[in-house]
Structure 1
Amino acid sequence: MTKCHFNFQKATSFAARDKADGLILPFWTKDKSAVPAFKKLGKIPQVDTAIKVGDFNGHKGEVFFIYPEKEKEQRIILLGLGKKESCTTFLLREAFHSLMKECHARRIQSLNLILPEIAIEDEKLVKAISETLVLSNYQFTELKHDGLIKRPANFLESAQFIGISDKLLKIAKQAVDVAKGVYLTRDLVNRNADDVTPEKLADTAKALEKVSSKIKVTVFDKKRIEKEKMGLLLAVNRGSNLEPRFIIATYNGDPNSKDHFALVGKGITYDTGGLSLKPTNFMLDMKSDMAGSATVLGTLYAAANLNLKINLTAVIASSENSIGSKSYKIGDVYQGYSGKTVEITNTDAEGRLALADALSYTVKKLKPKAMINLATLTGAVVVALGDEICGYFANNDKLAEQIEKSAGDTDELIWRLPLQQSYLKMLDSKVADIKNSAGREAGSIQAALFLEQFVEKVPWAHMDIAGTAYWEKSKSYHPYFSTGYGVRMLLDLLENFHNLKKL
């Protein structure tokens, strides 16, 4: 796993700060010039000159280096935050990521940092900046020869906030625990499909027991899955020579409560489309089709590191969707754990089948207070919302409200889509209880309506992360390919689990 190294510290005053590779001074832009976003520290001639001649204007993400002679830092780094009146934590994250790119290029390993003065709560400000510093540090090098031998040298190792409280320092340090969960999610999605098979995914889950005594993991092999009559997961698995796994991981952070929240992840470790075979360019990224399960495990890992006082259950239905002589067939009917039968009209709509058994089992056997499933489920959601915004569906408005609050507080973009009940008739079958797909029209809604048939009355949300789970190029503090989307939002949601008990 990619190591998550970072050390946050605090200095009681500007004079008490330690030596470092760089000192970050934040600036706003106003009237086409830069103005300090901090209290005046005294005259630094080079800074005044850079602003006066127009070399630095304070635009968002603008970074300018000065090399002083008599400071504790080798560099003074001017960071533009844009216009003060329009600044948000989302824009701050982008600005500080621009800073991190410049720091990496210069192999800067330690920073001193003054917080900008802005009408954002200090807690949110420190959280946004700290998370950005650590998440921007991520580099996936496992598959490169040098990366297998040594860790890259251009990591930022530490940051010292000047003049913050112990409470704010604790928030900064928590960013490392959050990032560890995001790193795990990114690693699992970035790895070769041969390195993240259903069995190896289960091994990764099992290894989390070593993180905390509060984590317990149960894994069903194929025989147990057959015994549980999870016919839909087994149907998806028929074309693969790798056996499926059904994973249940629990984190018992509140032993005095019986209430627990469930996260259900799609764990299709490689998706060829089955007999409804994908074209090559559509199959290229399909090692990522288990991103839902990776997000679930990353969230559980971070929750344990943060020692959250909640009970969390993570459920994963994992298989390959391969093509072979035993592949499940278009037109055939299979019965799932719920007892409902499904007519297969598209073998490339396999994720919802695996999830149907996982959701049914979670509802009937585990009985959560509420649950969310995460899945790279439809290309239609990418057409609708692009790759920066997650489309989600919910059968409970209060749950939806908390999801959107947590998304806003963590700057993970999300948009609620409708569970339009009149569209359910698209999935009517003449030979089974329901079809698994009905063509291109309203594809994301179809998939969500299908899943809804297996959640009964439990407050539930479905997050379609097909666009947000991985990107073809890096953007902001998200690297190329796996983004780790959702972990931070879900952790915030879990921290507010007391609000969900009223559902």
Structure 2
Amino acid sequence: MALVELRFLAPDPDTAIHHAGRVVVLAESELPLAARPLDRRARGALSRALASDRWSALAAGEGIELAFPAGIEASGVMLVKLARAAGPADLRKAGATIARGLKPEGALVLAQGVRRLPLLVEGIALRAYDFAMRAEAPKAPGPVALMVADPEARTKDCAEVLHLAEAVHFARDLINEPANVLTTGTFADRLLALRALGLDVEVLDEAQLAELGMRALLGVGQGSDSPSKVVVMQWKGADTPPLALIGKGVVFDSGGLSIKPAGGMEEMITDMGGAGVVAGTMMALAARKAAAHVVGLVGLVENMPDGRAQRPGDVVRSMKGDTIEIINTDAEGRLVLADVLWYAQERFQPTAMIDLATLTGACVVALGHENAAVFANDDALAGAVLKAAEGQGEGAWRMPLGPAYDQLIKSRMADMKNTGGRWGGAITAAQFLQRFVKPGTPWVHLDIAGVTLPPGETTLAPKGATGWGVRTLDALVRARFETGTSA
């Protein structure tokens, strides 16, 4: 939940020798100079470990731990394999290795000579995360102290990645929260609190949504006691047309009357993952005072079955004016996004739009838990998203769109139906959304169903929500939408 406490210290051999917690040494084939006094006091234990077959078998960024080595006060020495010319992925992985299993006594990292230190720090901060609601709170990990030359300068160098990690944690917290805690109202309140960072935040209630004609979105939430809302967050760091980020915020998805199987339904607390990522991104942009105009819009609903719930066979009219035949009430996220996409264009005339949603199980079947699906009507924007994702180590893969898929969502009675059936389900969902994008507006749809809640831990996150997308979108804004960059 909270970021681990990070400190930067000046080099001092005695500090390492007398540190009571874990001492971390970053090495490749031989010990760095800073670790040699420690090795001498430990009677060569570190050197022997580096000469072992176990060390040679390690991949970059992985580590081994020597518990309670003789001659020093540390509870353990962790040796992490890292070359001096290590790339971003290895540096982040090494940081994650340091952070995994942190104990209350904390850790001391001999980081002198590490190039691109912020990437190592980013890995530590991202992996040092826990979400728990147990009666007895887990013991918080102790601080991580990094021994570096010029600690004051390194503190400044790492400030931005720590702000970004905090925003990722914010997104993870939202996604991990159970639906009895994170209702649509509570979610909106969490976003209103971002005003403290300088974001302009407003909440549209059901009466306002009805007046705007958002019948597709309202239809999804009409079976729930939690009122539907749209939250608009705006960061105006430049006087330009905005980039619009749109997130699906279904705080719980039972499937409605087309109810889901019981097995795994508890994971549907994360069906607001797109909205969580948009919120985290807006927090990141505000925290670093990005020189960009970005608006984040999230549609908050709960999809529940009761006597008022939307039925299969219903026909609803979207804000755009198109009619939609409801075939399956579990294909609800696209109904929410359709109205919010149209509203974003009508109100803000954005220079580009990106929507994010845990939209389809078909996306998980196609790409597993390694990649988000990227659909786009604009090659340049799609390429920029893919490049940003690659730079952050967040998997993404472009998927096709095409008129032939439109035949699968053709309705006999309305302008379209809300699902095209089993085949190409992620694609037909994207085709549906594309109908609510005005000609000439660059648009990307990110289906993050597989990467939002993987079945186990990942390199940079424990089991639970990953916050996939916050770092990618922040990098995209930095590279393409800030003042002075070309869009």
- TM-score, normalising length: structure 2: 0.90
**Using the alignment, how far apart are the partners of 1:78 and 1:242 within structure 2?**
51
Runs of 4+ more than 6 Å apart:
16-19, 37-40, 68-74
Q: What residue number does 1:417 align with?
A: 399
CA contact (8 A) 2:6 2:143 kept: yes
Provide the identity percentage: 30
Q: What residue number does 2:472 align with?
A: 489
Q: 1:367 aligns with which of 346, 349, 353?
A: 349
Paired amino acid for 1:209: R
Shift of 1:247: 0.8
**Using the alignment, how far apart are the partners of 1:417 and 1:5 within structure 2?**
38
**Using the alignment, how far apart are the partners of 1:99 and 1:240 within structure 2?**
44
Q: 1:130 aligns with which of 117, 121, 130?
A: 121
Q: 1:190 aligns with which of 167, 173, 176?
A: 176
**Using the alignment, how far apart are the partners of 1:485 and 1:364 within structure 2?**
28
Q: Which residues of 2 match residues 303-318 of structure 1 at below 5 A?
A: 303-318=285-300
Q: 1:435 aligns with which of 408, 417, 421?
A: 417
Q: What residue number does 2:337 align with?
A: 355
**Cα 1:181–1:49 shift into 2, 3 Å:** same
**Using the alignment, how far apart are the partners of 1:375 and 1:37 within structure 2?**
46
Q: What residue number does 1:27 align with?
A: 27
Paired amino acid for 2:108: L
Paired amino acid for 1:453: R
Shift of 1:238: 1.7
Paired amino acid for 2:78: I
- TM-score, normalising length: structure 1: 0.87
**Using the alignment, how far apart are the partners of 1:323 and 1:233 within structure 2?**
15
Whether 1:99 aligns to 2:98 is yes
Runs (5+) with no aligned partner, structure 1: 29-33
CA contact (8 A) 2:218 2:228 kept: yes
Residue deviations 1:369-422 (CA, integer Å, cap 9, x gap): 112111000001111111121111111111112112211221111111111232
**Cα 1:247–1:162 shift into 2, 3 Å:** same
Q: 2:134 aligns with which of 144, 155, 159?
A: 144
Give the SS at the match of 2:208.
Answer: helix
Shift of 1:191: 1.2
Give the SS at the match of 1:368.
Answer: coil
Shift of 1:133: 0.6
Residue deviations 1:312-352 (CA, integer Å, cap 9, x gap): 21101111111011211212211111111111111111000
How many residues in Structure 1 have an aligned counterpart in Structure 2? 477
Whether 1:9 aligns to 2:8 is yes
Paired amino acid for 1:228: L
Shift of 1:75: 4.9
**Using the alignment, how far apart are the partners of 2:92 and 2:446 within structure 1?**
23
Whether 1:426 aligns to 2:423 is no
**Using the alignment, how far apart are the partners of 1:470 and 1:401 within structure 2?**
25
Shift of 1:448: 0.7
Q: What residue number does 2:89 align with?
A: 90
**Cα 1:269–1:155 shift into 2, 3 Å:** same
Deviates more, 1:127-136 or 1:58-67: 58-67
Shift of 1:166: 6.0
**Cα 1:230–1:116 shift into 2, 3 Å:** same
Give the SS at the match of 1:481.
Answer: coil
Runs (5+) with no aligned partner, structure 2: none
**Cα 1:291–1:173 shift into 2, 3 Å:** same
Give the SS at the match of 1:280.
Answer: coil
CA contact (8 A) 2:247 2:355 kept: yes
Q: What residue number does 2:163 align with?
A: 177
**Using the alignment, how far apart are the partners of 2:392 and 2:414 within structure 1?**
42
Q: Which residues of 2 match residues 82-481 of structure 1 at below 5 A?
A: 88-102=87-101, 104=102, 106-114=103-111, 122=115, 125-141=116-132, 143-147=133-137, 152-163=138-149, 168-210=154-196, 212=197, 214-254=198-238, 257-456=239-438, 457-481=440-464
